[in-house]
Amino acid sequence: MAGQPPPAPASRRLPGQVAALALMVGLRRQLRREWGGSPPHRWLLARPRPEGLTAAPADPRPGRAENGRRILLGDFTFAGATLHAGPKGDPWDRPNPSRRFAIALHRFDWLRDLLAVGEGGAAEGLRLALLWRRIFGRWNAFSWDPEVLERRVFNLACAAPTLCAGASDAETALISLDLARQGRHLLSTIDGPVKAAERACAAALAGAVLTGEAGDRLTTQALERLTKALPLTVLADGGHASRSPQAALSLLLDLQTLDAALVQRGLAPPDEMMRAIDRLIGAVRFFTLADGALPVFQGGEAQRPNLVAAARASESDGARTLPATRNGYHRIESRSLQVVADTAPPAEGAWSVTACAQPLALEILISGRRAITNCGWSPDAVGPEALRLGDAASTASLGDLSCGAPVRGLSARALGPRLIGADAAVSARRQQADGALWLEMSHDGWVRRFGLRHERRLYLDLAADELRGEDRFTPVTDAAAGEDPRRFIPFVVRFHIHPDARASLARDGKSVLIKSEGEDTGWWLRNDAMEVSIESSVFFQDGQARRTSQVVLRGQVRQEVGARLRWKLTAAEPWPPPR
């Protein structure tokens, strides 16, 4: 209503306001679920009936033939668990090892792997899709949940023409009808900006694959929704509204697939869609590091370099000057070092369901190899919300606390695990001179609690090819009420080591040698911390946790005085020294 202030973002709402919003959203979702399973809705989803399949869009994501061959043998391995159905077995009529496994199974991502095998894979994919529809094709609250349905519609639309190339007319009609019904229902689940672009894109792709009025109507409706959703999802600099580099990559791949399908149909893509593709390509180019992969920030996990390369395959040749900053991230580089820093607050409100409370987090590559990274986040993790706190990133934490945390309980079930208390102001300033780069960052996430501001300063010496850092906790004018300013507060600065690198503590108990696999020499992480230790950590890639380690620097700060911790990353001398 005009004249009323806009609702406060979820990160600033009081617990009572979050609970009230969760109740309202939960009731609306329950009503939608009841309607989704009702006979009138199922009747509407089936009309008009599609006449067949036409376009054959090619998903740029490369399939894994080795996974497809395992599925042909009846072994389904997802989310760290395996279901043994046996050759020509039925994975749908038996209990799944875990909910995470069931989500992966019902998303149909494995179709891409089966098609990578060849003709036998297509026949098995068709058989499994027809078996799925016998049990879940009419309606099921779990398998038709939007988070599961979105990827299944996309994957089935990409695979359907190949699956049905050797199928009977009756089987083709069943697959076409399934795709139409699911695409229509997916379009009806869009009720806000979050995931609207991804769902509209999948529904439009389903429409582009179908022939006749069914396909034309679904394509038109979905493209209208996509045109409205993209300006809210893709920012002017190409960053995704969630601030996740991986989310930008995934949406780019989806839009590229839809673009190819529309070209096959002789349809002009919307202008807004082409603008979004151009912007996303620029963002993915910015985030692509020397190892060909993206940094792990804000709700993403490590992606394979060939996936990034697939999204950038359409780029024209020629050198491009990368901007220094994009989507709230900064890059600084020397001959051997490449540093990316998160210099903006996490996403707010509904966009924050995968966001991380990890201000000023870093990723560092040495000689083109990932050395210092962040844990990453995956919905397939055990206890995934812990990975969204400060301890899971290469940044500092104060008093064993995090600058915000995901909402829990019933509110999380209704709203999703949004971040609350993560509305810290973050600032960054970049300077450059002959032979040096400075990056000065700060955030006030602990001002209300401790009256201290975290400042992180990076100095990249281009001539010496070394990185000097300083983490400082600076008192502000108004200390936290009720706290004794004379007491000492523990702080920790963490550097998570990539699984392909190793960290070892020197005899002095302070310096840490970081060495990548296959390298004869390493790099020293020297520091003036009170205590230095190497502890266990994890790194998420393709939904799987890889064991690794982290360098933990500990100290104490007094509220009225503040404290600082200095560290330096410099190349180690080769041993034995060259003659």
pLDDT of residue 486: 66
Q: Is the pLDDT of residue 332 over 80?
A: yes
| Residue 45 tokens, joined | 């989803």
How far is it, in rounded angstroms, from Cα 403 to Cα 443? Answer: 10
* Helix (H/G/I), strand (E/B), else coil: 380: coil
Single-letter amino acid, residue 569 = L
Helix H or strand E segment including 110 = helix 110-117
How far is it, in rounded angstroms, from Cα 255 to Cα 59? Answer: 10
How far is it, in rounded angstroms, from Cα 299 to Cα 392? Answer: 11
Asked whether the beta carbons of 443 and 426 are under 8 A apart, the reply is yes
pLDDT of residue 6: 37
pLDDT of residue 577: 56
Phi-psi region of 572 (alpha: psi -120 to 50; beta: other; left: phi over 0): beta
How far is it, in rounded angstroms, from Cα 99 to Cα 187? Answer: 25
108-146 confidence digits (pLDDT tens): 999 999 999 988 999 999 999 999 999 999 999 999 999
Average pLDDT over residues 172-186: 97
Average pLDDT over residues 385-413: 89
Fold classification of 329-571 (topology level) = Beta-galactosidase; Chain A, domain 5 (2.70.98)
Q: Which range has the worst mean pLDDT, 5-9, 382-386, 404-408?
A: 5-9
| Residue 504 tokens, joined | 């070892």
pLDDT of residue 368: 94
pLDDT of residue 415: 82
Q: Following DSSP, what letter does each residue of 264-320 receive, concatenated?
A: HHT-PPPHHHHHHHHHHHHHHHHH--TTSS----SS--B--HHHHHHHTTTPPSS--
Give how far the C-alpha of residue 365 lies from the chain's centroid of Cα atoms, to the nearest Å. 20
Q: Is the pLDDT of residue 318 over 70?
A: no
pLDDT band, residue 414 (cuts 50/70/90) = confident
| Contacts of residue 478, Cβ cutoff 8 Å, sequence gap at least 6 | 447, 451
Asked whether the beta carbons of 297 and 242 are under 8 A apart, the reply is no
pLDDT of residue 110: 97
pLDDT band, residue 7 (cuts 50/70/90) = very low
Mutual angle of helices 110-117 and 65-72, in 10-degree steps: 90
Q: Peptide bond preceding 48: is omega within 30 degrees of 0, i.e. cis?
A: yes
How far is it, in rounded angstroms, from Cα 86 to Cα 82? Answer: 12
| Contacts of residue 424, Cβ cutoff 8 Å, sequence gap at least 6 | 345, 359, 403, 404, 443, 444, 445
Other beta carbons within 10 Å of 99: 11
Average pLDDT over residues 541-570: 94
Asked whether the beta carbons of 99 and 53 are under 8 A apart, the reply is no
Q: Is the pLDDT of residue 443 over 60?
A: yes
**Angstrom distances, CA of residue 523 to CA of 70, 394, 515, 526, 550:** 41, 17, 6, 9, 15
Asked whether the beta carbons of 152 and 186 are under 8 A apart, the reply is no
| Residue 256 tokens, joined | 């590229």
Q: E strands within 452-562?
A: 452-461, 466-475, 488-497, 501-505, 512-516, 523-527, 531-541, 544-558
209-246 confidence digits (pLDDT tens): 999 999 999 999 999 999 999 999 999 999 999 999 99
40-63 confidence digits (pLDDT tens): 878 888 889 999 999 899 999 999
How far is it, in rounded angstroms, from Cα 70 to Cα 67? Answer: 5
Average pLDDT over residues 370-379: 91
Q: Peptide bond preceding 62: is omega within 30 degrees of 0, i.e. cis?
A: no
How far is it, in rounded angstroms, from Cα 551 to Cα 494? Answer: 6
Nearest to 197 by CA among 136, 303, 279, 138: 279
Q: Is the pLDDT of residue 9 over 60?
A: no
CA atoms within 13 A on the CB side of 563: 20
149-176 confidence digits (pLDDT tens): 999 999 999 999 999 999 999 999 999 9
pLDDT of residue 334: 96
Asked whether the beta carbons of 263 and 205 are under 8 A apart, the reply is no
pLDDT of residue 119: 80
| Residue 188 tokens, joined | 């009806």
Nearest to 295 by CA among 539, 566, 469, 543: 539
Average pLDDT over residues 417-445: 93
Q: Is the pLDDT of residue 2 over 50?
A: no
Which own/partner contact pairs does 435-444 have at CB distance under 8 Å and 24+ positions apart? 435/461, 435/462, 435/463, 436/460, 436/461, 436/462, 436/463, 437/332, 437/334, 437/462, 439/330, 439/332, 439/339, 439/341, 439/343, 441/341, 441/343, 441/360, 442/360, 443/345, 443/359, 443/360, 443/403, 444/476
pLDDT > 90: percent of the chain: 74
pLDDT of residue 22: 65
pLDDT of residue 340: 98
pLDDT of residue 300: 87
pLDDT > 70: percent of the chain: 91
Q: Is the pLDDT of residue 416 over 70?
A: yes
pLDDT band, residue 180 (cuts 50/70/90) = very high
Q: To the nearest whole number, what is the mean pLDDT of the chain?
A: 90
Give how far the C-alpha of residue 569 lies from the chain's centroid of Cα atoms, to the nearest Å. 28
Domain residue ranges in the chain? 48-287, 329-571
How far is it, in rounded angstroms, from Cα 357 to Cα 355? Answer: 7
How far is it, in rounded angstroms, from Cα 227 to Cα 271? Answer: 8
pTM: 0.92
Nearest to 339 by CA among 363, 366, 370, 375: 363
Single-letter amino acid, residue 95 = P
pLDDT band, residue 345 (cuts 50/70/90) = very high
| Contacts of residue 169, Cβ cutoff 8 Å, sequence gap at least 6 | none
Strand 369-373 and strand 362-366: the pairing is antiparallel
pLDDT of residue 3: 38
Mutual angle of helices 119-136 and 110-117, in 10-degree steps: 150
247-300 confidence digits (pLDDT tens): 999 999 999 999 999 999 999 999 999 999 999 999 999 999 999 999 999 988
More confident site: 70 or 24: 70
How far is it, in rounded angstroms, from Cα 180 to Cα 159? Answer: 14
Asked whether the beta carbons of 549 and 475 are under 8 A apart, the reply is no
Q: Which CATH superfamily is domain 48-287 in?
A: Chondroitin AC/alginate lyase (1.50.10.100)
pLDDT of residue 10: 42
Asked whether the beta carbons of 124 and 114 are under 8 A apart, the reply is yes
